[in-house]
């Protein structure tokens, strides 16, 4: 099946856009990828403070017998700027599952999962004209071929954090998958060392999501297997701008029966954060649940009957 990367104008991701009472689409649906042979998949999108945005995705067989990562710039009217461009320099084996974050001036970083022999989570920084700045960054431990599922968040001033999950016992989890992270300054130099996010390490902790506010406070959420007593549950950990953990890891879902996983998170300027996740609903399948937490990580209110 031929997959196209189609742009859904994600207003929620545009920091400068104030949501009106009613959201109306601006313009029509756009096809992002120019190269259409085989599959283009796994899009990620980020915008600067003026509304200019970039979409990245992985494309199969576009450059040799592998999957590689490409990007396309747009201005604030959703008009393409330039042509689609390659993100990675190392293109042997598969580079896949890209994620992008952008500062207020349009500088951006793309992280991806390198499924090849070089392995691990890699990233590359670009300026607002999509010109690469520096070399590819080895984000996860250099020998960590088991690092998967990257997520990234960036402050308006360019500092960013990448998180991922890994089987690498050297990272300090020691039991199946754990969630790890690395902070970077605005020049993409590592800030501090790689750190483990999950405190509870038994079994699988994986598929993290992350959000940071302009002060640098950030929160990571992930799914953990059997920690809540019945298959997967969702947990959160807060950090300050120096990367110091704030409080203990927090159980997110109140309903623990069945699966709660595939979490997403966003943090506001006051440090409050909202988590959304996929929640099992017995015989009726799955729904989406959300929960709002205050800046101390305490439950502020339940915003979904599924929580
Ligand atoms: Ca673990
Ligand atoms: Ca559960």
Question: Residue 250 pLDDT > 90, yes or no?
Answer: yes
Q: Determine the distance separating the centroid of ligand 1 and the alpha carbon of 16, expressed in angstroms.
A: 38
pLDDT tens, 260-287?
999 999 999 999 999 999 999 888 899 9
Q: Determine the distance separating the centroid of ligand 1 and the alpha carbon of 178, expressed in angstroms.
A: 4
Residue 170 three-state SS: helix
Q: Determine the distance separating the centroid of ligand 2 and the alpha carbon of 149, expressed in angstroms.
A: 21
Q: Determine the distance separating the centroid of ligand 1 and the alpha carbon of 266, expressed in angstroms.
A: 24
Residue 282 three-state SS: helix
The candidate with the shortest Cα–Cα distance to 189, out of 146, 212, 159, is 159
Mean pLDDT on 3-27: 55
pLDDT tens, 58-88?
999 988 888 999 999 999 999 999 999 999 9
Question: Residue 162 pLDDT > 90, yes or no?
Answer: yes
Question: Residue 175 pLDDT > 70, yes or no?
Answer: yes
The candidate with the shortest Cα–Cα distance to 145, out of 124, 172, 164, is 164
Structure confidence at residue 116 as a pLDDT band (50, 70, 90): confident
Mean pLDDT on 163-184: 86
At 302 the pLDDT is: 58
Mean pLDDT on 25-51: 95
**What residue spans define the domains of the chain?**
1-138
Q: Residues 206, 173, 236, 229: is their CA dihedral positive or negative?
A: positive
Question: Residue 15 pLDDT > 90, yes or no?
Answer: no
User: Which listed ligand is nearest to 205 at the C-alpha?
Assistant: 1
Q: Determine the distance separating the centroid of ligand 2 and the alpha carbon of 185, expressed in angstroms.
A: 36
* Residue 35 to residue 70: CA distance in whole angstroms: 10
Question: Residue 306 pLDDT > 80, yes or no?
Answer: no
Structure confidence at residue 225 as a pLDDT band (50, 70, 90): very high
Neighbours of 164 (CB within 10 A): 32
Neighbours of ion ligand 2 (CB under 5 A): 228, 230-231, 233, 256, 260
Q: Determine the distance separating the centroid of ligand 1 and the alpha carbon of 198, expressed in angstroms.
A: 8
Q: Determine the distance separating the centroid of ligand 1 and the alpha carbon of 87, expressed in angstroms.
A: 31
At 105 the pLDDT is: 98
Neighbours of ion ligand 1 (CB under 5 A): 173, 175-176, 178, 201, 205
């Amino acid at each position: 099946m031929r997959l196209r990367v189609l742009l859904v104008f994600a207003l929620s991701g545009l920091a400068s856009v104030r949501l009106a009472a009613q959201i109306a689409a601006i313009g029509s649906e756009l096809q992002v990828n120019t190269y259409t042979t085989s599959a283009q998949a796994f899009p990620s999108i980020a915008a600067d403070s003026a509304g200019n945005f970039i979409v990245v995705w992985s494309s199969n067989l576009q450059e040799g017998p592998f999957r590689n990562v490409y990007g396309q710039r747009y201005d604030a009217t959703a008009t393409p700027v330039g042509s689609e461009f390659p993100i990675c320099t190392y293109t042997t084996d598969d580079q896949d599952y890209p994620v992008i974050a952008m500062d207020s001036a349009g500088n951006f970083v793309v992280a991806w999962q390198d499924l090849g022999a070089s392995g691990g989570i890699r990233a590359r920084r670009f300026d607002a004209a999509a010109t690469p700045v520096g070399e590819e960054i080895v984000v996860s431990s250099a020998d960590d071929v088991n690092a998967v599922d990257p997520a990234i968040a960036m402050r308006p001033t360019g500092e960013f954090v990448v998180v991922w999950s890994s089987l690498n016992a050297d990272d300090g989890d020691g039991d199946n998958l754990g969630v790890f992270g690395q902070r970077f300054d605005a020049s993409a130099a590592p800030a501090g060392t790689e750190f483990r996010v999950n405190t509870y390490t038994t079994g699988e902790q994986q598929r993290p999501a992350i959000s940071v506010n302009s002060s640098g406070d950030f929160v990571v959420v992930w799914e953990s297997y059997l920690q809540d007593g019945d298959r997967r549950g969702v947990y959160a950990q807060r950090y300050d701008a120096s990367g110091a953990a704030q409080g203990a890891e927090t159980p997110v879902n109140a309903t623990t029966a069945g699966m709660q996983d595939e979490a997403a998170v966003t943090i506001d300027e006051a440090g409050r954060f909202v988590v959304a996740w996929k929640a099992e609903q017995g015989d009726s399948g799955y729904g989406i649940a959300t929960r709002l937490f205050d800046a101390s990580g305490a439950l502020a209110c339940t915003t979904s009957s599924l929580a």
